[in-house]
């Protein structure tokens, strides 16, 4: 495999997955533009970092799906993109979802914490338990890692369920420190 050397060393409004208390409304899906380039870059960083983080990769593999090969398939097959994603009428609360648009295993919200520091009316985004600022490298890595955890079936369904989403975020933070530290 690729992957250079491994170095040692990643909050609210994280992911937002599928199933559960709500269903995200996904509109204007796209696999192009500057947003796509940003997602591609972060996914690639994540792949490298994950290969150096046995704690995170074994956590994400708990349900029997290898997260590294899952992520590699997502990247190689280009099954990711970005869209406008609304949850219960709120266009900002979802960072990303794992599905809801054709041929996308990961869909990032154009209007959420991945791409923005704040909502248009000035509410600041914060991602995960450590409060990574919206649009930061770590917030982007955290959001993608969270969706990967849904893709491998390890995280709880949390769409529209705040408590489940926070528990999932805490699990990611606790198990994937090294991966998150590597993303900058
Ligand atoms: Zn989620």
- Examine the pLDDT at 81 and tell me if it is beyond 50: yes
Distance 30 CA to ligand 1 centre (A): 21
Q: What is the pLDDT of residue 178?
A: 97
Contact 144, 131 (CB under 8 A): no
Contact 87, 67 (CB under 8 A): no
For residues 48-77, give the mean pLDDT.
98
| Whether pTM exceeds 0.85 | yes
- Examine the pLDDT at 54 and tell me if it is beyond 50: yes
Distance 19 CA to ligand 1 centre (A): 9
Check residues 124 and 8 and name the one with the higher pLDDT.
Answer: 124
Model confidence band, residue 22 (pLDDT cutoffs 50, 70, 90): confident
Distance 105 CA to ligand 1 centre (A): 13
Q: What is the pLDDT of residue 55?
A: 98
Distance 22 CA to ligand 1 centre (A): 12
Q: What is d(CA 35, CA 32) in angstroms, rounded to the nearest whole number?
A: 7
Q: What is the pLDDT of residue 5?
A: 58
Distance 5 CA to ligand 1 centre (A): 30
Distance 169 CA to ligand 1 centre (A): 8
For residues 130-158, give the mean pLDDT.
97
- What percent of the chain is predicted at pLDDT more than 70? 89
Model confidence band, residue 23 (pLDDT cutoffs 50, 70, 90): confident
Contact 141, 170 (CB under 8 A): no
Distance 114 CA to ligand 1 centre (A): 14
Q: What is the pLDDT of residue 20?
A: 45
Distance 13 CA to ligand 1 centre (A): 10
- Output the average pLDDT for the chain: 90
Q: Which residues surround ligand 1, an ion (CB under 5 A)?
A: 15, 17, 158
- For the segment 82-96, what is each residue's pLDDT rounded down to a tens digit? 999 999 999 999 999
Distance 51 CA to ligand 1 centre (A): 22
Q: Give me the residue spans of the domains in the chain.
A: 25-182
User: Residue 36 CB: number of other CB atoms within 10 A?
Assistant: 16
Phi, psi of 54 (to 5 degrees): -60, -30
For residues 173-178, give the mean pLDDT.
98
């Amino acid at each position: 495999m690729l992957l250079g050397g491994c170095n040692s060393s990643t909050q609210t409004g994280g992911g937002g997955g599928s199933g559960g208390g709500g269903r995200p409304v996904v509109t204007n899906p796209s696999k192009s533009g500057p947003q796509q380039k940003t997602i591609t870059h972060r996914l690639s960083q994540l792949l490298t970092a994950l290969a150096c983080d046995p704690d995170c990769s074994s956590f994400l593999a708990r349900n029997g799906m290898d997260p590294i090969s899952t992520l590699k398939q997502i990247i190689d097959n280009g099954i990711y993109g970005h869209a406008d994603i609304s949850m219960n009428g709120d266009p900002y609360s979802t960072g990303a979802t794992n599905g809801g648009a054709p041929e996308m295993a990961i869909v990032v919200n154009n209007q959420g914490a991945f791409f923005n520091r704040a909502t248009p009316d000035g509410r600041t985004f914060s991602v995960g338990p450590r409060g990574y600022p919206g649009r930061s490298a770590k917030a982007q890595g955290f959001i993608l890692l969270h969706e990967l955890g849904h893709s491998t079936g390890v995280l709880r369904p949390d769409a529209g369920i705040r408590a489940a989403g926070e528990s999932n975020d805490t699990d990611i933070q606790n198990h994937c420190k090294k991966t998150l530290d590597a993303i900058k």
